[in-house]
Amino acid sequence: MQELSPTAFLISSSIKVFLVFSVSLLVVAYMTLLERRVSGFIQDRLGPNRVGPFGLLQPIADGIKNFLKEETMPATANRPFFILAPMLSIFLAVVLIGVVPFAAPLPTPWGVVDMVVADIPVGILFILAFSSLGVYGTVLAGWASNNKYAFLGALRSSSQMVSYEVALGLSLIPVFILAGNVTLTEIVWQQQMLGFWYLFPLSLAFLLFVISGFAETNRLPFDMPEAESELVTGYHTEYSSMKFSMFMIGEYAHILVVSALMATLFLGGWSVPFWSGDHMFWYEGMLISGFTAAGEPVAAEPAIWKTLLTLAAFALKTGFFILVFVWVRWTLPRFRYDQVMHLGWKVMLPTSLAYVMLVAATVLVLDQMAVEGFLFGAVLTAVSAVATGIFVFALDRDRIMSGASRSRSGEVREVRTPVAQSGLRPRLAGAEMGGESDYTSK
C-alpha cells in the first residue's frame, strides 16, 4: 500500500477537515441533548423528549433559538475582547480534535488515507499547548464583561486551569515514557504492540488524568469558574445569544476532546481489543502490521470494513467517557475553592511527580533486565496497581479530603462539641449559658 501523492493528500485533508469539523460539532450538539436526557434520567425525569422522536431534534431547536435571541452588549464592556473571548473559547476547543486519530487508515484508489486530520509529530504537546491557551477565552470573557461575578469566575478559572495544567501534563509523562513518542498515532500503535491498554500498566496516570481532565474542562465537581449558585454562571454572565452558545459549544467540545484523549492515550484509541487485524502503522513509508521475529516489517492490509469497525470502537470508548462526564456532573457536588487548590497542588502534583519517577525507574529496571512483551506490561501493571492502591488508601483515610457525614461503621457518631453539650440554647448577649436563666425563672 502506497502513500498519497501531494495532490491527493491535499484533497483528502480538505475532505477530512470538513468532515471531522462538522461531525464533531454535530456530536457536541447531541452531547447537550445527552446531558439533558441523562440528567433527567438520574433525577427520575424523562428530559426533553418533545422535539422530534426521543427529542432528537432538540439541539437543532436550541441552535435556532440561540440565533434568534437578542444579543446584548454591556455598556461598560471592553468591546473587542468581549467579542474575541467566545471565538477563542470555541476555536481552541474545536481545533484540538484535529490531532486525534479516530480510525484505522482507509484504503482508497489513490493510496492509504490516515484517519486523522493532522498527524503532527508534536501530537499531544500541541493539545497541551492549545488547551492551556483555552484559559484565555475564559479570562478575557471575565475581564471584558466588566462585571464582578464574571471577573471572579475568570480569576477562579485562571488559577484552577493553571494549577491542573501541571498535574495534567505530569500525568501524561508516564505515557510518553512507555510509548517513547508524543505522536498520538504512535501511542496507539505502541499500545497495540504491547498488547495492553495503558489503562492497566499506567492506572495511576489514568486516574490523575481523569481528575485533572475534569478540572481542565471546568466540569463538576470542578466547575469553579461557572458556579451558577455563587457566581451567577461566572465568566459568561454577560453573554447572550450565539456568543453564549459559543461558550457552551467550546465547553462541550473540550469534553469531547478530553474523552477522545482518554480513549486514545489509555484505552488503545481506535484499536479493537483482542484482535490483531487492525494493527496498522506507518513505518519508513510503509504501512505495517507488526514485525517478524527477525525484525522484518510485515505489511498491513487496510480495508474499509476495518476502518469502520475501528471507528465504531473509537466512538464507543469516547462515548463511554462522555457518559462518565455527564454521570459525574449529576452526582458530585462542587468542591470548595480552597479544596480545589489543595487537591491540585498538594495532592495531584506530588503524586504525579512521584508516579513519573516510579514508572521511569520500573521501565529502566525492566529494560536493563531485557524484559519485553507481555511480562513487561504485567510487571508494570502490578507496580501501578500497588501505587494506585496506596493513593486510593491515602484518599480514603481522609488525609486528603473530608467527606460526607457518615462514619465508617455506617452510623452517625456522637461528637461532643461545645454546641452539642450546651443543648443549643440561643446565645443571647448578656444571658448566661446553661443552668437557670433569668428568662425561664420569671
What does the binding site for other proteins look like in residue numbers (CB under 8 A)?
38, 40-46, 327-328, 330-332, 392, 395-398, 400-408, 412-415, 417, 419-420, 424
Work out how close the CB of 264 gets to other proteins at its nearest, in angstroms, rounded to a whole number.
24
Work out how close the CB of 416 gets to other proteins at its nearest, in angstroms, rounded to a whole number.
9
Of residues 387, 400, 299, 325, the one with CA closest to residue 34:
325
Radius of gyration of the chain (CA): 26
Of 45 and 65, CB closest to other proteins: 45
Work out how close the CB of 394 gets to other proteins at its nearest, in angstroms, rounded to a whole number.
10
Of 132 and 339, CB closest to other proteins: 339
Q: Which residues, in sequence order, are CB contacts of 113 under 8 Å at separation 6+?
A: 4, 12, 16, 105, 106, 107
* CB-based contacts of 340-347 (< 8 A; 24+ apart in sequence): 340/160, 340/163, 340/215, 340/222, 340/224, 341/159, 341/160, 341/163, 342/401, 343/211, 343/400, 343/401, 344/160, 344/163, 344/164, 344/166, 344/167, 344/212, 344/215, 345/163, 347/400
Of 79 and 425, CB closest to other proteins: 425
CA distance 8 to 170: 38
Of 148 and 406, CB closest to other proteins: 406
Task: At 334, give phi and psi (nearest 5°).
Answer: -70, 140
DSSP 3: P
The answer to whether 187 touches 175, Cβ cutoff 8 Å, is yes
DSSP 282: E
Work out how close the CB of 405 gets to other proteins at its nearest, in angstroms, rounded to a whole number.
5
Residue 178: count of CB within 10 angstroms of its CB: 23
Instruction: Please spell the DSSP secondary structure of 335-368, one letter per residue.
Output: PPHHHHHHIIIIIIHHHHHHHHHHHHHHHHHHHH
Residue 101: count of CB within 10 angstroms of its CB: 25
Work out how close the CB of 407 gets to other proteins at its nearest, in angstroms, rounded to a whole number.
4
Of 294 and 415, CB closest to other proteins: 415
CA distance 378 to 384: 10
Of 6 and 403, CB closest to other proteins: 403
Of 133 and 420, CB closest to other proteins: 420
DSSP 154: H
CA distance 242 to 223: 22
Helix orientation angle between 123-145 and 184-194, rounded to the nearest 10 degrees? 130
Work out how close the CB of 186 gets to other proteins at its nearest, in angstroms, rounded to a whole number.
34
Work out how close the CB of 39 gets to other proteins at its nearest, in angstroms, rounded to a whole number.
9
Of 206 and 270, CB closest to other proteins: 206
Work out how close the CB of 41 gets to other proteins at its nearest, in angstroms, rounded to a whole number.
5
Work out how close the CB of 331 gets to other proteins at its nearest, in angstroms, rounded to a whole number.
4
Of 407 and 441, CB closest to other proteins: 407
Work out how close the CB of 182 gets to other proteins at its nearest, in angstroms, rounded to a whole number.
32
Task: At 32, give phi and psi (nearest 5°).
Answer: -65, -40
Of 67 and 327, CB closest to other proteins: 327
CA distance 396 to 404: 12
Q: 216 is written with which cell numbers?
A: 481542565
Of 47 and 59, CB closest to other proteins: 47
Work out how close the CB of 305 gets to other proteins at its nearest, in angstroms, rounded to a whole number.
33
Chain center to CA of 105: 25
Residue 221: count of CB within 10 angstroms of its CB: 18
